[in-house]
Chains A and B, each alone.
Chain A
């Protein structure tokens, strides 16, 4: 097989893999939450409820896809697509194994950060276009939240970039051959995980949705597959951030005995479960608390991390 054909096949495989994972996470999350919350979770459709995803999909595809007459129609339709597109695009730069990667970009990490910034438009525009006061508040919160975490998210990765000397994700993985970066870059790791939680808009940072306050926040007016796109988009986001944590801090595909792809999948799933555990255990912040937490605590910490890392690298060289 020649080069372009191979990469097109790879592209489809990764695309299908990511979509299946995201859909499967709906089941995984509900089962795990059930386990941790002393209840069953879905257990009727198929063995252990494994066909729940199929049932959900049938439901969501056959539901009336309603657009409220008062909504801003074009924007209302585009908004859910943005989150899916930007998240899927980010997967292009993730090296799942030495040979399995869609595109080996020199600025892979910057590409991810750019895409993650764009994905906020999805939520903000959905909130705006719905022309519903609750959605609007959700959209506003999303925009404010983005200002809160985006800055320290980028900065938290600066240490990794300095240690690896590259924005290229493959090179970052290769640079962890001796020691995984979560050891030298522990503060950066913690900050990135927190930023990742905010990026995926999950508890404790699910302010744009905040069902107890804003009913369903930015997607109150959405139904059918448009809602499904937000729903799956959230799980793709979780998968993406988990894969990135594995890549940037835990040596990506590297590990003994098992093939590289297995290691990558195992590591990603561990972090996905971690995300679900966080959701099961924590309450939600208020958004002014999130902002002051981001700007007053996380940003200085991320900066300090950059300074200390830089100093150590200088001293070592």
Chain B
């Protein structure tokens, strides 16, 4: 809480005593309410003027407060905009909230402060119907342009059964089809340069090079990209809305599918956020198991990236080798969890089961096997001269640009900043493990690859230490909110049986509060910002995914390059569309 008061003092010094209302949250992020008229100035001050500034707009979202019960001490608000900033110099976050009143409120855009706010503001407009004055292109981003209503508002139905039967007569299909027509002028794109007309190429949503449902519209001069626009949302499944309708426990499998290559890595952020709300400390063994499984999924995810990146550049063999190795990872994952890509294995308060007998032999075999393969891949891919020619100097961005666009993970470390949440904010016992944070300097496609390849080795090192130091003890906390609760005494006395029954049938009731948990996921910083209103379900689930921010900057780094370069850059950024659209 010291940090909280410090930054509050700094702000009060600048903007006056009465401007700000602090709020206590369970994640120790200083949370400060600022009035709507001043919020842009506050943000500008925090980014540009304050010593050791908050240079990254880490996340931006909104909350529909109208049905919230537990909001004593908050300013009067129907909708709240939440700005989550990150300062690398201070190694600190700050959350600025601004209250809005009325059914269809609006406030000033901050696109002129952070370019990355562009998509976040569009998302808020799309999902909450809050307008941003001065936004260059405020249109829907995740929902189809023809959608009626704003899904994350509390009055919007969450289930298909509440919407009436779905029909698609021919005229409606045609109308929906026409709504997808691209009009360059609407996106502020030019139709040509002085002496040429651009050719507009619709790349995607189905295209072998986009790794999923992503639509890119290119304005081409020959094969040179003069301008481009990204159209996302084809993979949107309303995960945040589902979070408001699923119990705290039954939402876990949904998280697996956010970054669908990350598996339990998604559980990791979610259950830790719930644990912060519930005040559970997972036992040591559970923590170590979680680290180990998360690192296995980092390896699996990076292997997919490695293979498909080489594939994007035309090398057809590496992807088979790497998928075979990924299969070995999945063999271990399935031996331990029973699942493969989406085991949904972490639980509130621990993990689902204890490690099976003989797990360490399997893991050790992999530790012995994998380094030689990595060395071979270095020769096959990283040292290949065509590969280098295609990636070095392609899609480079500077550290400042990266921070301004909200880039995290390997993409940020490739610019020379050794920012890794596992080191800077150790969670789940990462501080007891030795590993390096690989960095590179140039921030181009090749350097991003270098960082990820080295991360594969570091993950292996972490797993090795997990095997060596796996503690004994319970794999689940005996906190009453642990779900499902430990069963040893369930059949012996009626009190624990009742608790067990309630916890399994209704799910745990998490005490009211707000907490956000950040982890270093496979692709960058992933966080779950959960608001509990003292119910069996979350009041609001905000999922901050790295891919969303990474994708947004692609048009800015592809200008003037060719289609071939675009595909190389898409591969090097390593996004998952499910992670973008949620």
Chain B 199-234: CB-based contact to A (< 8 A → 1; otherwise 0): 101000001110000000000001100000000000
B343-363 vs A, CB cutoff 8 Å, 1 = contact: the mask equals 000000000000000000000
Q: A37 touching B386 by the CB < 8 A rule?
A: no
**Least Cβ distance of A26 to chain B in Å?**
16
Bound Cα distance A203, B563 (Å): 17
Given A212-B209, A215-B207, A286-B390, are A280 and B562 also a contact pair (CB < 8 Å)? no
Report A120 CB to chain B, min CB distance, Å: 18
Q: Report B303-330 residues with CB < 8 Å from chain A CB.
A: 310-317, 320-321, 324
Other-chain contact of B311, A212, A214, A285, A288 (Cβ < 8 Å): A212
Number of interface residues of B (CB under 8 A): 29
Given contacts A38-B320, A206-B314, A279-B316, whether A286 and B208 have CB atoms under 8 Å apart is no
Chain A positions 227-282 with a Cβ under 8 Å from a chain B Cβ:
279-282
Say whether A214 contacts B387, CB under 8 Å. no
B386 near A204 (CB under 8 angstroms)? yes
Which of B208, B223, B315 meets A215, CB within 8 Å?
B208
Q: Whole-angstrom distance from the CB of A210 to the nearest CB of chain B?
A: 7
Nearest-Cβ distance from residue A82 to partner chain B, whole angstroms: 24
State whether B208 touches A212 (Cβ < 8 A): yes
Nearest chain A CB to B496 CB, angstrom units? 52
Q: A285-B386, A286-B390 are in contact. Are A211 and B317 (CB under 8 A)?
A: no
Q: Is B504 in the interface zone, CB < 8 Å from A?
A: no
Residues of A within 8 A of B315 (CB): 203, 281-284
A210 touches B564 (CB 8 A): yes
Q: A214 to B202: give the CA distance in the assembly, Å.
A: 11
Q: Report if A213-B384 is in contact (Cβ < 8 Å); known contacts: A203-B314, A206-B314, A285-B389.
A: no
A137 at the interface (CB under 8 A from B): yes
Report whether A213 and B390 are in contact in the complex, using a CB–CB cutoff of 8 Å: no
Closest residue of A by beta carbon distance from B311: A212
Q: A133-B201, A212-B312 are in contact. Are A280 and B317 (CB under 8 A)?
A: yes
Name the residue on B nearest A39 (C-beta).
B320
B554 contacts A by Cβ under 8 Å: no
- 0/1 per residue, B52-75, Cβ < 8 Å to A? 000000000000000000000000
Q: Does B497 contact A (CB under 8 A)?
A: no
Instruction: Decide: A282 near B320, CB < 8 A? Known: A287-B564, A288-B562.
Output: no
Q: Which of A207, A211, A212, A279 has the most CB of B within 10 A?
A: A212
Contacting A212 at CB < 8 Å: which of B222, B324, B567?
A: B567
* Residue A289 is within 8 A (CB to CB) of chain B in the complex: yes
Chain B residues with Cβ under 8 A from A287's Cβ? Answer: 223, 562, 564
Whether A281 touches B563, Cβ cut-off 8 Å, given contacts A38-B324, A204-B386, A213-B209, is no
* Residue among B313, B317, B563, B564 facing the most chain A CB atoms (10 A cut-off): B564
User: Within 8 Å CB of A39, what residues of B?
Assistant: 320
Contact, CB under 8 Å: A210 / B314: yes
Asked if B223 and A140 make an inter-chain contact with CB atoms under 8 angstroms apart, the answer reads yes
| Contact assessment for B317 and A37 in the assembled complex, using a CB-CB cutoff below 8 Å | yes
Chain B residues with CB under 8 A of A285: 386, 389-390
At the interface, yes or no: A66 with Cβ under 8 Å from chain B?
no
Query: A24: shortest Cβ distance to chain B, in Å?
Result: 21
* Distance between A147 CB and nearest chain B CB, rounded to angstroms: 15
Interface size on A, residues (CB 8 A): 31
Which residues of chain B come closer than 8 Å to A206, judged between CB atoms?
A: 314
Flag whether B126 is at the interface (Cβ < 8 A). no
Whether the Cβ atoms of B223 and A137 lie closer than 8 Å is yes
Are A38 and B321 neighbours in the complex by a CB distance under 8 Å? Answer: yes
Residue contact B209 to A280, C-beta cutoff 8 Å = no
Considering the chains assembled together, what is the distance between the CA atoms of A210 and B324 in angstroms?
Answer: 24
Q: How far is the CA of A152 from the CA of B324 in the complex (A)?
A: 41
Cα distance, A207 to B324, chains bound together (Å): 28
Q: Are A283 and B321 in contact (CB under 8 A)?
A: no
The A-contacting residues of B in range 371-394, CB under 8 angstroms, are 380, 384, 386-387, 389-390
Interface string of A28-49 (1 = CB under 8 A from B): 0000010011110000000000
Q: Would you give the shortest CB distance from B210 to chain A, in whole angstroms?
A: 10
CB contact between B320 and one of A37, A284, A286 (< 8 Å): that residue: A37
* Chain A, Cβ-Cβ closest to B200: A133
Inter-subunit contact B563/A213 (CB<8 Å): yes
Residue in chain B with minimal CB distance to A286: B564
- Residue in contact with A133 in the complex, picked from B199, B207, B311, CB distance below 8 Å: B199
B314 neighbours in A (Cβ, 8 Å): 203-204, 206, 210, 212, 282-284
Q: Is B256 an interface residue (CB 8 A)?
A: no
Q: Does B384 lie within 8 Å of A283, measured CB to CB?
A: yes
Contact status of A280 and B316, CB under 8 A, knowing A210-B564, A212-B209 = yes
Q: Would you call B240 an interface residue if the criterion is a C-beta within 8 Å of the partner chain's C-beta atoms?
A: no
Query: Which of B324, B384, B389, B563 has a CB less than 8 Å from the CB of A137?
Result: B563
Give the residues in chain A near B311, CB-CB below 8 Å: 212
Which residue of chain B lies nearest to A209 when distances are taken between CB atoms in the complex?
B314
Q: Is B275 close to A, CB under 8 A?
A: no
Tell me the complex Cα distance, A38–B317, Å: 9
**Whole-angstrom distance from the CB of B225 to the nearest CB of chain A?**
12
Enumerate chain B residues within 8 angstroms of A140, measured Cβ to Cβ.
Answer: 222-223
Query: Do B563 and A214 touch across chains, with their CB atoms under 8 A apart?
Result: yes
- Asked if B565 is at the interface of the complex by the 8 Å CB criterion, the answer is yes
| Residues in A neighbouring B199, C-beta threshold 8 A | 133
Whether A283 contacts B208 in the complex (CB less than 8 A), given A37-B317, A38-B321, A210-B314, comes out as no
A187-223 vs B: 1/0 string, CB under 8 Å? 0000000000000000110110011111100000000
Contact B321 A286 (CB under 8 A): no
Distance of A287 Cα from B314 Cα, bound (Å) = 13
A214 vs B201: C-alpha distance when bound (angstroms): 11
Given contacts A133-B201, A213-B564, contact A284 B324 (CB under 8 A): no
Residue-by-residue, is B40-58 near A (CB-CB < 8 Å gives 1, otherwise 0)?
0000000000000000000
Chain A's closest residue to B201 (CB) is: A133
Residues of chain B contacted by A289 (CB below 8 angstroms): 389-390
Q: How many angstroms from the CA of A295 to the CA of B384 in the assembled complex?
A: 22
Residues of B within 8 A of A137 (CB): 201, 223, 563
Alpha-carbon distance between A133 and B223 when the two chains are bound, in angstroms: 11
Q: How far is the CA of A38 from the CA of B326 in the complex (A)?
A: 13
On whether A284 and B321 interact (CB within 8 A), knowing A215-B207, A289-B389, the answer reads no
What is the bound-complex CA distance between A76 and B47, given in angstroms? 58
- The residues of B that contact A283 with a CB separation of less than 8 Å are 310, 313-315, 384, 386-387, 390
Which 7 A/B pairs are nearest by Cβ-Cβ distance? A284-B314, A283-B315, A37-B320, A283-B313, A212-B209, A283-B314, A286-B564
Binding site for B on A (CB under 8 A): 33, 36-39, 133-134, 137, 140-141, 203-204, 206-207, 210-215, 279-289
Given contacts A210-B314, A213-B564, A283-B390, 9 further A-B contacts (CB under 8 A): A137-B201, A140-B223, A203-B316, A206-B314, A212-B312, A214-B563, A281-B315, A283-B387, A285-B389
B binding-site residues for A, Cβ under 8 Å = 199, 201, 207-209, 222-223, 310-317, 320-321, 324, 380, 384, 386-387, 389-390, 562-565, 567
17 chain-A/chain-B pairs, Cβ below 8 angstroms? A33-B317, A36-B317, A37-B321, A38-B320, A137-B223, A137-B563, A140-B223, A207-B564, A210-B314, A280-B317, A281-B315, A283-B315, A284-B390, A285-B386, A285-B390, A286-B389, A286-B562
